Every structure is written in structure tokens, then in C-alpha cells.
Structure 1
Amino acid sequence: MSKLTNQKLQDYFFRLRSNKVFEMFVVSVIIFSALMVGAKTYELPPVLLTVTNILDWTITFIFMAEITVRFIGEPRKRDFFKNGWNVFDTLIVLVSVIPIDNSDMAVIGRLVRIFRVLRMISIIPELRTLLNSLLKALPQLGYVMLMMFIIFYIYAAIGSTFFAKVDPFLWGDISISMLTLFRVMTFEDWTDVMYDTMEVYPLSWIYYFTFICLTAFAFLNMVIGIVVSTLEEEHRLQDAERAEAEGEPTLKELQAEIQELKALIKEQHSVR
């Protein structure tokens, strides 16, 4: 009887955590929690401060209840903490229990409550997809960033050598020159920098033109291309997992069936 009751309870919580209304309620609470964090940055009257503290503990209680629902609704309890998002959510909620008062832990408590906004990523599948794609793209992005750093370093050395006497504040050494080049790459009043050097070196526009073409156009487009490609791959993997979970044939299975049909057709033609 106890096992039957536990099974019914698990099925109920499983349906509850998969319910769109429940998910929207949790998202609304997260957004309200973020607004509460912002409200506490203002000078509030003592009455409102007390109300916000009560609401803050209420939000923490709701988050704890939501984690409990997700845990009980998990068909295999040991698989719950194999999911990194479940571990992240649990840690955020548990540390949120730290009381906010005048103790030394008050700052940590406030910071953790700010990070509760990140739970939006674990709740909304589209945000999870974006983050997973970004993490998977990091190795490839690392090589692009390394190449960009090399270009920055070369151009900074050239700029510091030629333009240090023109404007020591912008080109005094290689580190300052790299900051100036970052300003140029982001188009932050870069023409003022160029015109200052052109007064001494009229052909210095070639320096800025080639640097912008390499960084602002070529490398940034490479970064966008890598992220978009990884995002498309992540969507394909999710579609394949969804099709497998729903019992639908995947693309590889369809291709295998097509190959089998082609082989059968060839055999029939050879028999004839």
C-alpha cells in the first residue's frame, strides 16, 4: 500500500513539474525575486524593508518547495543530481537560506539571492540551449581569441613604436596600446585617434583600416559563425533526443532504412 501511495505521489509531482502553468509560476517568482533584489538597493522605509524581508523568505520557501517537487517527481532519485542544473538549483536554494542581517554573512546572503536570477536558465529550455551551445563553442572560440590576441599584440607593438611620441597617453607602452586598439575595434571615437596620428603620419590610416578589417570584421564574424554553428548542432541533438524519447525514428535510423530498401531493390533487380 505504501509503495502504491509513493508511486502515485511521484506520478503527481512528475506531472506537476512538467506542467506549463507550474513552470510559468516559478519563472514569475524568479522575476519577482530579481525585482526584490533591485528594490533593496534603494533607501526603503522601515515598514517596506520588513515587508521585503518577509517576501524574501517566502520566495526562498517557494524555491525549496519547487526543488522538493522536482526531486520527488524524479523517476530515479539517484539520477536527479547527475543533472548539473539540478545541482546548481539546489546549491542556490540551500545557500539562500543564509539569513540576511548585520552579520558578516549578510553580504554573501545578498549575493546569493542575486544569483537566483540565473535559475531562469535552468527553467527555460531555450536559455539552457543557448548556454550549452556557448560552453561547447568555447574550445573553438579559444583559438580564435588566441589569434586575435596575437594580432592585437603585433599591432600594439607597431602602434607603440610609431605613435608613442604623438600621444603618450594612448600609445605610451604596449599594454596601453592594446587598450587603445580595443577602443578602435569597438569604434569608440576611433576616428579621433586616427586623425591625431595622421597629422604626423599621413598614411597611418592604413594601420587602422587593416586592423579593423582583421578584428572587427573577420574575427568577430568568425566568433558569430562558430556560435551559430554550435547552436544549430545543439538543436539537432535535442531534436534527435526528443524523437528518440517519443519513439520516432531518428535521422540515422531513417538513413539506415533507406539503405536497406536500396539494397533490397538492387537484389530484386539482380534476381530478375
Structure 2
Amino acid sequence: MEARPFQRIIVVIILVNAATIGAETSSVLTAHIGGFLHAVDRITLAVFAMELGLRVYAYRGAFFRDPWNHFDTVIVAVALVPAAGSVSVLRALRILRVLRLVSAVPSMRRVVSALLEAIPGMVSIIGLLVLVMYVSGVLATELFGRIAPGYFAELPVSLFTLFQMMTGDAWSDITRQVMAERPWAWVFFVGYILTSTFVVLNLFIAVVVNAMDEQSTSSEEQHTDGQLATMLAELARLHVKIDAIRAAQTRATGSCGDHPDGRRTSTPTSPHPDA
């Protein structure tokens, strides 16, 4: 199950299944090769279910201690639910099988693990961003609600507009419309964009990069520890062999002597005191 060729086959099957699911969204392809696409989809689903069953059989109880196995089980279970009637929306969830690439590719697993480890730090940054947007939303509603009601009429509308400006979408059009009535409004908008986009959002990047760096360092340390353990085990085996060779040489030296002509002879035993 852990052999590299087997893992590569699973990755190829996942990619083929993703391609067939995407092809089924085309009415032209469905009309010509719809039956073939459905057959490939069923076969790949059967392969996923069999592979999951083999992993359960191979790992026994250890299978349920790995969170990635839970992830794969949920994806396969959702795909096995009959997509008919009130649950027909589950048919669209078949594309979730592509997410199995995350668990099948070790590098993707490391990236996701780093993102999960960065969540605690990101929560604090999200709280700071929400605070900045809320204060700015209230100010924008009070200052520019009458000038640009389409953007700042009420607090929810203002919050959405500020979020749009934070992403850099049409922020210049919004600011110019407001500045036509309030020329000093650029002070508010420039300060908000600098704070939200160039400061707070960059903190997200810093936290994620730090978490990925720690994850990479941890992986390298684990790899180094594994190599060191292998080397120590090999050295221990060599030490045992050397001790065995030395013991054999000692026994041979104690039981045999050198003959003057080079032949090996038995060492004479001491006579008995009573002889």
C-alpha cells in the first residue's frame, strides 16, 4: 500500500476521474461519450472503495488514528451515496474526490498541515481585520452614506464595499465618486487601504510562511533522525559481527599453536599433578 508505484497509480486514477467529471459538464461530450464517462466514473469509484478497504485491512486499528484516513473515508462515503431525488446535489460533490490528491501527495499534505498549524495565529489577525473593517464601516456610513448611498447607505453595505476595496476591486471608482463631493475623503480611503491591505493581509502571509517553514524544518529533522537511527542500527550490527569475529579468533588462538614449520598443531595440555 505504501509502495511508490502503487501510490502513483492511485494519483493517476484520481486525475483521470477529475478529467471525466469535468468532461461530464459538457453537453457535447456527454452526448457523444456520456456512457463511457459514466463507466469510467463508476470504475474509479470502485477502485477508491477497494483501496480504502485494503488500507483498513492492512492497518487495522492504526487506520483510524490517522486524520488523513478520516478525510479519505468521508470523500469516498459521500461519493457512494445515491445521487437521486432530494440528494441529487450530492452528484456535484463527486468532484471532491479530486481532493484525495492532498492525502496522496506528501508535499500537499505538508502544505495543508502547515496551514492548519497557522490557524491559531490567523484567528488573531482575522479578529484585528474585523475590528478595522467595523470601525471603518461605521465611519464610512456616517461620512459618505448620503453622498454614495449605493456603496455606504447602511453598515452591511459599507462593510461589503470596504471588503471589495480591500481586494483592490474598483476601489478607485468608489473613491473618485466620493471625492467629487468630499475632496478630503482620500485621507480616509488611503489610510484604510494601507491598514487593511498592506498591513493586516501581509500578516496572514507572514504567519503562513512561518508555519510552512516550521513544518519544513520538522520534516527535515524527522528525516535526519530516521537516517541517524538507521546508521546507528547498522553500526550496532557491525559491532556485533566484529565482537563475534574477535571471539572466534580468541578461541582459535587459545586452542591451537604455531608449529615451527608453519603448521598448526594442538597446544599440549599440562600434565596432571598425580601423573
> Per chain length, whose mean CA-contact separation is higher, i.e. which structure has more relative contact order (CA < 8 Å, sep 6+)?
1
Q: Which residue of 2 aligns with 1:3?
A: none
> What secondary structure, in the 3-state scheme, does the structure 2 residue paired with 1:96 have?
helix
Which structure 2 residues correspond to residues 218-233 of structure 1 after superposition, within 5 A? 218-233=199-214
Which structure 2 residues correspond to residues 92-131 of structure 1 after superposition, within 5 A? 92-100=75-83, 102-108=84-90, 110-131=91-112
Residues 242, 157 of structure 1: alpha-carbon distance in 2 compared, 3 angstrom cutoff: same
> What secondary structure, in the 3-state scheme, does the structure 2 residue paired with 1:166 have?
coil
Is residue 49 of structure 1 aligned with residue 34 of structure 2?
yes
Residues 203, 112 of structure 1: alpha-carbon distance in 2 compared, 3 angstrom cutoff: closer
> What secondary structure, in the 3-state scheme, does the structure 1 residue paired with 2:108 have?
helix
Residues 107, 174 of structure 1: alpha-carbon distance in 2 compared, 3 angstrom cutoff: closer
Q: Which residue of 1 aligns with 2:216?
A: 235
Structure 1's consecutive aligned runs of 4 or more residues displaced over 4 angstroms after TM superposition are: 44-47
Aligned partners of 2:52 and 2:177: how far apart in 1?
A: 60
Please tell me whether Structure 1 or Structure 2 has the larger radius of gyration of its CA atoms. Answer: 2
Unaligned segments of structure 1, at least 5 residues: 1-16, 250-272
> What secondary structure, in the 3-state scheme, does the structure 2 residue paired with 1:200 have?
coil
CA-based RMSD: 2.0
Residues 236, 53 of structure 1: alpha-carbon distance in 2 compared, 3 angstrom cutoff: same
Residues 187, 97 of structure 1: alpha-carbon distance in 2 compared, 3 angstrom cutoff: closer
Q: Which residue of 2 aligns with 1:22?
A: 6
Structure 1 position 32, deviation (Å):
1.3
CA contact (8 A) 2:24 2:30 kept: no
Residues 162, 32 of structure 1: alpha-carbon distance in 2 compared, 3 angstrom cutoff: same
Unaligned segments of structure 2, at least 5 residues: 231-275
Which structure 2 residues correspond to residues 203-222 of structure 1 after superposition, within 5 A? 203-222=184-203
TM-score, normalization by structure 1: 0.78
TM-score, normalization by structure 2: 0.77
Aligned partners of 2:168 and 2:77: how far apart in 1?
A: 44
Residues 69, 243 of structure 1: alpha-carbon distance in 2 compared, 3 angstrom cutoff: farther
Aligned partners of 1:71 and 1:245: how far apart in 2?
A: 26
